[in-house]
Chains A and B, each alone.
Chain A
Amino acid sequence: MRILVVEDDTDVSRYIKRGLTEAGHVVDVAESGTDGLAMGREERFDVLIVDRMLPEMDGLTLIEALRRDNRKVPVLILSALGDLGDRVVGLRAGGDDYLPKPFAFEELLARVEALARRNYQGAVETQLKVADLEMDVLSRKVRRQGQTINLQPREFRLLEYLMRHSEQVVTRTMLLENVWDYHFDPQTNVIDVHVSRLRSKIDRDFDIPLLQTVRGAGYMLREPE
């Protein structure tokens, strides 16, 4: 993937660039809002990571300008103004996701990859499949190795999100935002309890575990190599 990072703090941009490069992405860095806007207009990127506080032109103005040009590239807003009101303002300006500083790199990576994937998927799939686990989103049925698995509504949404982002790290905050639709940093282990319940339903009676814990980051649903 090709990613543009618009960030004036060189420590942060260097850190992001190194991490994303290691994860196999191509990264360009712009150090001001005007540079970022110019690059975003001229070249094609899969994801933009934009800091809110930038010299010359602030991040939100940059995003609004891009959206006026009808550029649909997904944008992740990075901000030290990590409060909920600011998140809403950022999303209204045209951002797709919002990550407060300081952040764990895993959180950033997981969100960037989720954003990119969302952009690739044209029509929303209604038949999901990860290894021998199948989900029919419309009839709300889940099967593994042909056996029906009964899930509570919330467990179903949790599994759906994990399946749509299979092979990808999903953080606890992402789960809280996308499965429960609440936005804050969950300083609680409640999400883990929900995940372990789901795990007991989809993994316990089968040989190969699909739902894995990624230490220090979150969870990933995938078929082990």
Chain B
Amino acid sequence: MSRNKFLASSTFRLALLYVTLFTVSVLALFTFIYWSSARYMAAQSDAAMETEIRILSERYERSGVVGLRRLILERITRQQPTGSALYLLMDPLSRPVVGNISRWPAVEEKDGWLSFRLETRDRDDAQTHPARAKQFALSGGFRLLVGEDIQELKAAERQIIVALSWGVILTLLLGLAGGFFISRRMMARLEVINETSQRIIDGDLRRRVPVSHRGDEFDRLATHLNRMLDQIQELMEGIRQVSDNIAHDLKTPLSRLRQDLEEISTQRPHDPELSETLSHALREADRLLGLFNALLRIARIESETVTPTLVDLSLADLIKDIVEFYEPLADDKHQKITLLIDDAPQLAADRDMLFQSLANIMDNAIKYTPMGGRIQLRVGTREDRPFLSICDSGPGIATHEHDRVFQRFYRTDASRSTPGNGLGLSLARAVLQLHGAVIRLKANDPGLCVDLFFQGTSTAPATPR
């Protein structure tokens, strides 16, 4: 499974979409949590300050400036030096009476509340802390300020933001990993189905999608696919069976017909016109018989009722025979046959069958290559298998027709006008498949290359002839 294929897979995209949505909702939730807890903390601190003001103003009512001053001093002393409460009492002339901040903050008040930056009491670093305070006017022109250094509060808020951010990142990572894992599993199961389909498209109709017996929807899909394939295979075999039966049943009466025609013609009719008609009829009968024989032969090879007589042979020697056999035909069309032998692989094959099937391919190459064209053969070892390629410089075969040219009676548009029964390549393929060879067609620009990969002698048992 390649990286790109994985990223392009719909399961992965689905997982990604889900992770994004999930992350956004987690983000919204965390924002709300932050907002409400920050508000709660601020409200708590405000309430504490208001309570303090009430207590202090009550003391002022009861025991005047002296009592209030003593109480404030007491509070400041008690909380030193780490306390965060701020106090300042000013007389009617705006002079500080008592407090732990030196002057009245120079900021606008809003509903009695002041927000300002506070010079720290720590001399070593001259930083300022955020602070919040409430002012209160006492009777007699005195003004009271009760506040709080909210540095700690802000720090807690920041801490909450950091924690929540980590939460979001973790959610995202876990979601991605989970999505990756799940989509990989999904893809692996889909990939099995895809691979099987490809094999079937490549011609291995007997292959089936594996069923895991978990009883889930993938298994149901696989079961359905397999049932469809069974039906297709049955239909195809039915069609083949019918055509083979027809060929078989017609062959006997046809050969009788041929015998009768031959008998009549051996009695040498003196009418030359009749004699001509008879020999024409005989030729037609021969052509039909040839067709039926070829069909039946393909059927028998494909159903493996024929046992090839395997011998150890040199692919190069066989190809030399083919070239020698076809050279005069190519010469007549001024075509040049070149044979390149990289090495001489041995293989176990039925010499006659293989010769015929390669002859059929060669026949096509010569037939479709124009006058003066080239036909190149190459023998060697590729992918650890005996290899042969037959390349021509003809019109080639369109890629979408590559599979179909091996079907019985299939003629490409370009070949309809040329003689032939459309069985040559079918026979060639049947024989090659019987030998475990793989056929690959590819374009030769211009022309066609037929690449054949055989099984070496090590993999196929040979019986001496």
Residues of A within 8 A of B (CB): 11-12, 15, 18-19, 22, 82-85, 88, 101-102, 104-105, 154, 180, 182-190, 193-194, 197, 215-216
Contact = CB atoms under 8 A, between A and B. Distances in A.
14 contacts: A11-B256, A84-B353, A85-B309, A85-B350, A102-B289, A104-B258, A105-B259, A180-B325, A183-B352, A184-B353, A186-B359, A187-B424, A190-B328, A216-B282
Interface stretch (B111-119, B218-226, B292-300): B292-300
Interface residues of B, number: 41
Contacts of A182: 321, 351-352, 355-356
Given A82-B297, A104-B286, 16 more contacts: A15-B259, A15-B263, A19-B266, A22-B266, A82-B293, A84-B353, A85-B306, A85-B308, A88-B309, A104-B258, A104-B262, A105-B262, A180-B321, A186-B359, A187-B424, A216-B279
Contact of B324 (A83, A102, A154, A185): A154
Contacts of B300: 83
A101 B266 CA distance: 20
B378 interface: no
Contact of A185 (B256, B293, B321, B325): B293
Contacts of B326: 190
Nearest to B427: A187
B294 A187 contact: yes
For the residues of B in contact with A, the DSSP-based class is helix
B328 A102 contact: no
Given A83-B300, A102-B258, A184 B266 contact: no
A64 to B, nearest CB: 19
A12 B251 CA distance: 14
Contacts of B308: 84-85
Interface string B309-322: 10000000000010
A184 B328 contact: no
A105 B285 CA distance: 13
B279 A193 contact: no
Given A154-B324, A185-B290, A185-B293, A193 B332 contact: yes
B465 interface: yes
B286 A193 contact: no
B329 A105 contact: no
A184 B356 CA distance: 7
Nearest to B251: A102
Given A11-B256, A85-B309, A190-B329, A184 B352 contact: yes
A83 B294 CA distance: 11
A175 to B, nearest CB: 11
B375 to A, nearest CB: 14
A20 B89 CA distance: 147
The 9 closest A-B pairs by CB, nearest first: A102-B255, A184-B356, A193-B328, A183-B352, A182-B355, A84-B352, A15-B259, A88-B309, A85-B307
Contacts of B355: 182, 184
B256 A88 contact: no
A18 B263 contact: yes
B294 to A, nearest CB: 7
B317 to A, nearest CB: 12
A184 B258 CA distance: 21
B283 interface: yes
B91 interface: no
Contacts of A12: 259
B363 interface: yes
Contacts of A102: 251, 254-255, 258-259, 289
A197 B328 contact: yes
A11 B253 CA distance: 12
Contact of B328 (A185, A194, A215, A216): A194
A83 to B, nearest CB: 5
A84 B308 CA distance: 8
Contacts of A185: 290, 293
A84 B353 CA distance: 8
B325 A215 contact: no
Nearest to B260: A15
B313 to A, nearest CB: 12
B329 A193 contact: yes
Contacts of B293: 82, 185
Contacts of A101: 255
A187 B352 contact: no
Nearest to A12: B259
A95 to B, nearest CB: 15
B279 A215 contact: yes
A88 B465 CA distance: 8
Nearest to A152: B324
Contacts of A180: 321, 325
Q: Which of A85, A105, A186, A194 has the most CB of B within 10 A?
A: A85
A7 to B, nearest CB: 13
A13 B263 CA distance: 13
Interface string B251-273: 10011101100110010000000
Nearest to B296: A82
Q: Which of A83, A185, A187 has the most CB of B within 10 A?
A: A187
Contacts of B286: 104
A182 B320 CA distance: 13
A12 B252 CA distance: 11
Contacts of A197: 328
Contact of A190 (B266, B325, B424): B325
Given A15-B259, A102-B255, A182-B356, A84 B324 contact: no
A11 B260 CA distance: 10
Contacts of A84: 306, 308-309, 350, 352-353
A189 to B, nearest CB: 8
A5 to B, nearest CB: 14
A153 to B, nearest CB: 9
Contacts of A186: 359
Nearest to B321: A180
Nearest to A103: B255
A84 B309 CA distance: 8
A188 B363 contact: yes
A15 B261 CA distance: 11
A91 to B, nearest CB: 10
